[in-house]
Amino acid sequence: MESSKRRRTGNGGGRKGSGREFDMARYSQRHVALRVVYFGQGMHGFAAQEGIEHTVEGHLFRALLKTRLIVDRDSSEYARCGRTDKDVSALGNVISLRLRSHLREGVGFAEPDEGSAAASAEAGGGAAREELDYPRMLNAVLPPEVRVSGWCAVPVDFSARFSCRERQYRYFFDSSGLDVGRLREACRHLEGEHDFRNFCKMDVENVKSFTRTVLSFVVCEPPIPDGLHYFQIRGTAFLWHQVRCMVAILFMVGAGQEEPSLLPILLDLKATPKKPQYNMAPAAPLVLAATVFDGVSFALSAAQCTQLQTHLRERWAAEMTAAAMSQHAIDSLSGLASGAAKKPKHVPIQRRAIEPTFEERLAKTRAKAKEKETR
């Protein structure tokens, strides 16, 4: 197979107006991890989707191509740590891939390629040169909702997906009307290694085991604003919609509609062999807060750090203003309601309709595939 370092792209050459084709073979490349911050509300999730532009991954790859840091996705050895859903945000998602470099040796470089090394030296490359400021280059062309908050050179066998040893999520919520003590009692049942098939959306094509380990699941209270709490969930890996399903059940417990003892019942496949039907918690309050790797230390230039802090403070001020306006609107309704509001009737989880098991779903999927083959 032809080395990806020899690939070329003809989408406008090196210098603007030069008409010269960009040739990645003239440059060194190194394996790099990028930490990404994004606000997912209104976005169609992290993963790129055909025909949909407003995804985090889509924005990242358009920026990577525009800055000539890669030739294409296929040759970049790309991996992502977390594939968050529509409207979900992240403060510390991580991707890894091979990027154009100013250097020729060090962490992240494979066996030196004589052709690209010679070309780099001819162009003035050398150990004394500083590495490209990847966050600065990418943040200059990324939309306001997406920012690269750090980078780190990593070994060539590093994978943002498989090298991650811990993922941390936060789910923010208004605790009004919820018993936080009951929530804390229920959270403890979710810690440890369990089969979480009753707390996820089953992906029968890609997932064969639903056993996951939750390292800790606690209720926390941030300093501001009053009444706001969040669940802090640490785990090695999570299933599709697992966090939002766990939170949905916890909200029922906190509201007094279900008992904390429901959690171990749902985790016991003998007691609950089929998942009861219930709606997931909303996506917008969920944040992939951090991802943990061994030996990875992200760096950010002082100028980029200041610029990113300014950008985030402006966003914070705008959202706090919107929150204050909403609070004023709520206060203006005080004392206007007449009569008692009717609460929707709660159907106990254990009395609800049940969903097909994994085996039933898998059999249906295989039957459909077999039917297509015989057509």
Lowest mean pLDDT among 29-33, 147-151, 266-270, 333-337: 333-337
Asked whether the predicted pLDDT for residue 130 surpasses 60, the reply is yes
Q: Looking at residue 14, what is its pLDDT? A: 43
Nearest to 330 by CA among 241, 227, 258, 232: 227
Q: Looking at residue 124, what is its pLDDT? A: 45
Q: What is the mean pLDDT of residues 44-51?
A: 92
Q: Looking at residue 374, what is its pLDDT? A: 78
Q: Looking at residue 225, what is its pLDDT? A: 67
Asked whether the predicted pLDDT for residue 17 surpasses 50, the reply is no
101's enclosing H/E stretch is strand 89-101
| Structure confidence at residue 6 as a pLDDT band (50, 70, 90) | very low
**119-154 burial code (b ≥16 CB/10 A, e <16):** bbeeeebeeeeebbbbbebbbeebeebbbbbbbbbb
Q: What percentage of the chain has pLDDT greater than the value 90?
A: 72
Task: Based on the residue annotation, tell me whether 85 is a catalytic residue of this protein.
Answer: yes
Q: Looking at residue 181, what is its pLDDT? A: 95
Chain-centroid distance, C-alpha 244? 14
Planar angle of CA 160, 164, 169, nearest 5 degrees: 105
Please report, for residues 8, 87, 95, 290, 365, the alpha-carbon distance to residue 148 in angstroms, rounded to integers and kept in the order given. Answer: 26, 19, 10, 14, 39
CA dihedral 343, 344, 345, 347 (to 10 degrees): -130
Q: Looking at residue 341, what is its pLDDT? A: 78
Paired tokens of 121: 């030296």
| Contact call for residues 181 and 258 (beta carbons, < 8 A) | no
The CATH number of the structural domain formed by 27-153 is 3.30.70.580
Asked whether the predicted pLDDT for residue 5 surpasses 80, the reply is no
Average pLDDT of the chain, as a whole number: 89
Asked whether the predicted pLDDT for residue 267 surpasses 50, the reply is yes
| Structure confidence at residue 334 as a pLDDT band (50, 70, 90) | confident
Planar angle of CA 210, 219, 45, nearest 5 degrees: 55
The ranges assigned to domains in the chain are 27-153, 166-292+355-369
- Relative to beta strand 146-153, strand 228-235 is unpaired
Q: Looking at residue 10, what is its pLDDT? A: 40
Q: Looking at residue 88, what is its pLDDT? A: 97
| Structure confidence at residue 363 as a pLDDT band (50, 70, 90) | confident
Q: Is the pLDDT higher at 228 or at 22?
A: 228
Q: Looking at residue 8, what is its pLDDT? A: 44
Q: For 90-124, how does the pLDDT look when each residue is reduced to its tens digit (9 = 90+)?
A: 999 999 999 999 999 999 997 655 454 444 444 44
Asked whether the predicted pLDDT for residue 335 surpasses 70, the reply is yes
Q: Do 27-153 and 166-292+355-369 come out as alike in CATH topology?
A: yes
Nearest to 145 by CA among 63, 215, 76, 221: 63
Concatenated DSSP letters for 196-264? -GGGS---TTT-S--EEEEEEEEEE--SSSTTEEEEEEEES---TTHHHHHHHHHHHHHTTSS-TTHHH
Q: For 68-93, how does the pLDDT look when each residue is reduced to its tens digit (9 = 90+)?
A: 999 999 999 999 999 999 999 999 99
CA dihedral 357, 363, 367, 373 (to 10 degrees): 120
Nearest to 87 by CA among 321, 332, 299, 287: 287
The span from the CA of 289 to the CA of 243, in Å, is 13
Q: What is the mean pLDDT of residues 190-208?
A: 92
| CATH class entry, domain 166-292+355-369 | alpha beta
What's the pTM value of the predicted model, to 2 decimals?
0.87
Asked whether the predicted pLDDT for residue 217 surpasses 90, the reply is yes
Type of residue numbered 200 = C
**How many C-beta neighbours within 10 Å does residue 301 have?**
14
Q: Looking at residue 128, what is its pLDDT? A: 52
Active-site residue among 85, 174, 179, 268?
Answer: 85
Percentage helix, strand, coil for the chain under 3-state DSSP, each rounded to 5: 30, 20, 45
Please report, for residues 62, 66, 108, 232, 263, the alpha-carbon distance to residue 71 in angstroms, rounded to integers and kept in the order given. Answer: 11, 10, 18, 39, 49
